[in-house]
């Protein structure tokens, strides 16, 4: 049972279903475009898609390779770095809803996958105590209950339900939060407004920090422009129109373009609280958390989508030998009663757990093996997540220092010809892990 069809859940469901495991995927939203997600694909995410055999999907969706990164202080370029950096693949901007739809299409081609869209998981089922009487610890998870009351038994529940994870909350798994007191206002500029700014952006990801505030500006894979304005959480509004506020931190040529933006082109921004954190434990018997549910990622330097894909890859590679290895799969049936074949579901689910009863000792052994694998998955992923989140914190800290200290901004801007190359070298030193991640565990032969 995979809960949540974001990058982590969709990739995991596809990898398991493609290998013949019976999978149910539950997603509360009807459309992927209903949620704003990251669209920066790093070499780390690209490597995961390659190893999943899904890189062909990238040729079918809107994608734009990034040409470089530029950092501007007080309207002056501090430094720019061209892509690709350090010999790794280029970063690109992709249309994430199209990638998710492509993965779902592949997954639905597997007869053993059931997709339930527009249904949220509200509760969890626990295994009746008598079946694992001497197990000691907390009861084993045995499935989920949907918001329409449907009970779905499962051998394993994987919570891929994002930063506000219901599954994490219901299981009481702790989240160590490290939320900076910041929020991002996301502005989407399309058509005429985007065309107006594209010549200045020129395929770059630009970060601008000045007296008026701090923001990121970049083109989207579909030809639009996205602007993320960083501010203190709950900051008061300003009577100054947005384009004028942006212009005040911009170099003259961009400022002129911003001030002449067609006023009708600007819709209200989407306000998103910056959240980041890490669950020290991602599992309990019968349950695993992956992606933002296990480690909410701040949007800084485009990591969350990439880490979610890598979580799914590692989890699938470690789970498959247990779920689909020699001998029978552990079954959830006989515990709660089956709800398979529900008319609200897409896919036939023909390979759902066989109702045939398995001997209790054999079943218990296989469930223990499965639970040990969940621990191994978290252990395999934690070092990379910790390393990446530490680098994100470091970079956010530097940006915040510049945003809050006008004297430092002015000093660095005035000495950009000297400070720029030094800061560029320092910035680039932190990039290898943010670009490629740590080496992935060796995959199956
Ligand atoms: C504005 C913004 C910009 C970002 N930029 C980037 C970027 O450029 N690059 C990058 O790599 N990352 C970026 N990120 C982060 C990235 O989007 C996330 O880290 C990534 O989407 C996490 O994937 P996930 O599969 O774990 O969770 P999500 O993508 O959050 O998916 C969770 C899914 O679970 C579903 N769900 C939730 N609750 C339930 C329930 N109870 N029952 C059923 N379904 C449920 C949700 O509808 C959702 O579809 C950005 C994030 C934001 C918000």
Residues 90-122 have pLDDT tens digits of: 999 999 999 999 999 999 999 999 999 999 999
* CB-ligand 1 contact for 292 (6 Å cutoff): yes
**DSSP code at position 171:** H
C-alpha to C-alpha distances, 333 to 127, 252, 358, 367, nearest whole angstrom: 11, 67, 10, 13
pLDDT of residue 348: 56
Residue 74 backbone class (left: φ over 0; alpha: ψ -120 to 50; beta: rest): left
Helix (H, G, I), strand (E, B) or coil at 50: helix
pLDDT for the residue 353: 45
pLDDT above 80 (res 166) = yes
Does residue 327 have a pLDDT over 80?
no
Q: Rounded to the nearest whole angstrom, what is the distance from the C-alpha of residue 166 to the centroid of ligand 1?
A: 13
Give the domain ranges of the chain. 2-64+92-179+276-396, 182-273
Atom 29 in ligand 1: residue holding the nearest Cα: 6
Q: How far is the CA of 185 from the centre of ligand 1 (A)?
A: 17
Residues 6+ apart with CB under 8 A from 145: 121, 122, 123, 124, 125, 151, 152
Distance CA 139, CA 121 (A): 19
Overall average pLDDT of the 430-442 stretch: 92
Task: Compute the distance between CA of residue 17 and CA of residue 410 in angstroms, rounded to an integer.
Answer: 56
- Percentage of the chain with pLDDT > 70? 90
Best residue for ligand 1 mutational test, from 187, 304, 312, 314 (most atoms within 8 Å of Cβ): 304
How far does the centroid of ligand 1 lie from the alpha carbon of residue 358, in Å?
37
Q: Is the pLDDT of residue 131 over 60?
A: no
12 close to 290: Cβ distance less than 8 angstroms: yes
Give the pLDDT band (50/70/90) at residue 130: very low
Residue 344 pLDDT more than 80? no
Whole-angstrom Cα distance, residue 207 to residue 301?
Answer: 11
Q: How far is CA 57 from CA 49, 64, 74, 90, 100, in A?
A: 9, 14, 41, 17, 10
Tell me what pLDDT residue 139 has: 79
Residue nearest atom 42 of ligand 1, based on CA coordinates? 120
Taking the model in full, what pTM does it have? 0.91
Q: Of 4, 166, 190, 22, whose CA–CA distance to 100 is shortest?
A: 4
Could you tell me the pLDDT band of residue 127, with boundaries at 50, 70 and 90?
confident
Percent of the chain with pLDDT over 90: 75
Is there a cis peptide before residue 84, judged by omega within 30 degrees of 0?
Answer: yes
Quote the tokens at residue 414.
């005035």
pLDDT in tens, 356-383: 455 677 888 899 999 999 999 999 999 9
Nearest CA to ligand 1 atom 3: 38
Phi-psi domain of 93 (left: phi exceeds 0; alpha: psi -120 through 50; beta: other): beta
pLDDT value at residue 445? 63
What's the Cα-to-Cα distance from 195 to each of 191, 200, 208, 216, 259, rounded to whole Å?
6, 10, 20, 17, 14
Q: Over 90: is that where the pLDDT of 331 sits?
A: no
Indicate whether residue 92 lines ligand 1 (CB < 6 A): no
The 121-126 sheet, strands edge to edge:
121-126, 141-146, 151-153
In a mutational test of the pocket of ligand 1, which residue from 11, 99, 299, 306 has the highest number of ligand atoms less than 8 Å from its CB?
A: 299
Binding site membership of 96 for ligand 1 (Cβ less than 6 Å): no
| Residue-wise pLDDT tens digits, 223-232 | 999 999 999 9
Query: How many residues are present in the chain?
Result: 445
* Region 177-202 average pLDDT: 92
The CATH number of the domain covering residues in 2-64+92-179+276-396: 3.50.50.60
399 C-beta closer than 6 A to ligand 1? no
144 phi and psi, to 5 degrees?
-135, 165
Indicate if ligand 1 lies below 6 Å from the C-beta of 29: yes
Residue 224, pLDDT score = 93
How much distance in Å is there from the Cα of 162 to the middle of ligand 1?
5
CB 29 within 8 A of CB 186: no
Please, are residues 163 and 290 in contact by the beta-carbon 8 Å criterion?
no
Mean model confidence pLDDT for the chain: 89
Residues 6+ apart with CB under 8 A from 2: 9, 12, 13, 16, 23, 24, 25, 26, 158, 160
Tell me: the pLDDT tens digits for 288-311?
999 999 999 998 888 999 999 999
Nearest alpha carbon, ligand 1 atom 4:
38
Task: Give every CB contact of residue 311 below 8 A, 6+ residues apart in sequence.
Answer: 8, 12, 290, 291, 294, 381
On whether the CB atoms of residues 162 and 311 are closer than 8 A, the answer is: no
- The encoded tokens of residue 13 equal 């469901």
Ligand 1 centroid to Cα of residue 31, in Å, is 13
Does ligand 1 come within 6 angstroms of the Cβ of 299?
yes
Grade residue 36 by pLDDT with cuts at 50, 70 and 90.
confident
365 three-state secondary structure: helix
SS3 content of the chain, % helix, strand, coil (to 5): 40, 20, 40
Query: How many Å lie between the centroid of ligand 1 and the Cα of residue 415?
Result: 40
- Indicate which residue's Cα is closest to atom 39 of ligand 1: 161
């Amino acid at each position: 049972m995979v809960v949540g069809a974001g990058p982590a859940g969709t990739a995991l469901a596809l990898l398991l279903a493609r290998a013949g495991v019976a999978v149910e995927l539950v997603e509360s939203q009807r459309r992927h475009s209903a949620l704003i997600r990251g669209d920066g694909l790093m070499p780390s995410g690209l490597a995961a898609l390659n190893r999943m055999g899904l890189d062909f999907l990238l040729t079918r969706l809107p994608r734009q390779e990034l040409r470089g990164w530029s950092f501007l202080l007080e309207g002056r370029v501090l430094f720019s770095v061209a892509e690709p950096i350090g010999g790794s693949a280029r970063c690109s901007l992709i249309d994430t809803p199209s990638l998710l739809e492509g993965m779902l299409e592949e997954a639905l081609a597997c007869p053993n996958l059931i997709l339930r869209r527009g249904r949220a998981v509200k509760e969890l089922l626990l295994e009746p105590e008598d079946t694992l009487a001497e197990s000691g610890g907390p009861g084993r998870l045995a499935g989920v209950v949907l918001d329409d009351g449907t009970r779905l038994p499962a051998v394993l529940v994987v919570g891929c339900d994002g930063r506000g994870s219901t599954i994490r909350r219901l299981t009481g798994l702790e989240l160590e939060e490290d939320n900076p007191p910041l929020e991002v206002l996301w502005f989407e500029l399309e058509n005429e407004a985007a065309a107006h700014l594209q010549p200045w952006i020129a395929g770059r990801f630009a970060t601008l920090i000045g007296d008026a505030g701090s923001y990121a500006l970049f083109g989207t894979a579909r030809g639009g422009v996205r602007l993320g304005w960083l501010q203190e959480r709950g900051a008061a509004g300003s009577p100054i129109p947005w384009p004028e506020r942006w212009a005040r931190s911009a170099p003259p040529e961009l400022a002129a373009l911003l001030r002449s933006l067609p006023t009708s082109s600007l819709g209200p921004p989407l306000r998103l609280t910056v959240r980041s954190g890490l669950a020290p434990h991602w599992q309990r018997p019968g349950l695993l958390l992956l992606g933002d549910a296990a480690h909410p990622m701040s949007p800084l330097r485009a990591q969350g989508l990439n880490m979610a894909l890598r979580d799914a890859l590692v989890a699938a590679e470690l789970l498959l030998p247990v779920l689909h290895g020699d001998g029978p799969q552990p079954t959830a049936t006989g515990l709660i009663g089956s709800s398979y074949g529900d008319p609200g579901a897409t896919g036939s689910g023909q390979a759902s757990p066989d109702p045939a009863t398995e001997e209790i000792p054999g079943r218990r052994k296989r469930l223990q093996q499965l639970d040990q694998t969940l621990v191994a998955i978290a252990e395999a992923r934690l070092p990379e997540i910790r390393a990446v989140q530490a680098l994100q914190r470091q970079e956010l800290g530097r940006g915040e220092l510049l945003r809050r200290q006008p004297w430092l901004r002015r000093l660095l801007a005035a000495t950009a010809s000297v400070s720029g190359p030094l800061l560029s070298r320092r910035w680039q030193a932190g990039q290898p892990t943010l670009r490629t991640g740590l080496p992935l565990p060796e995959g199956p032969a």
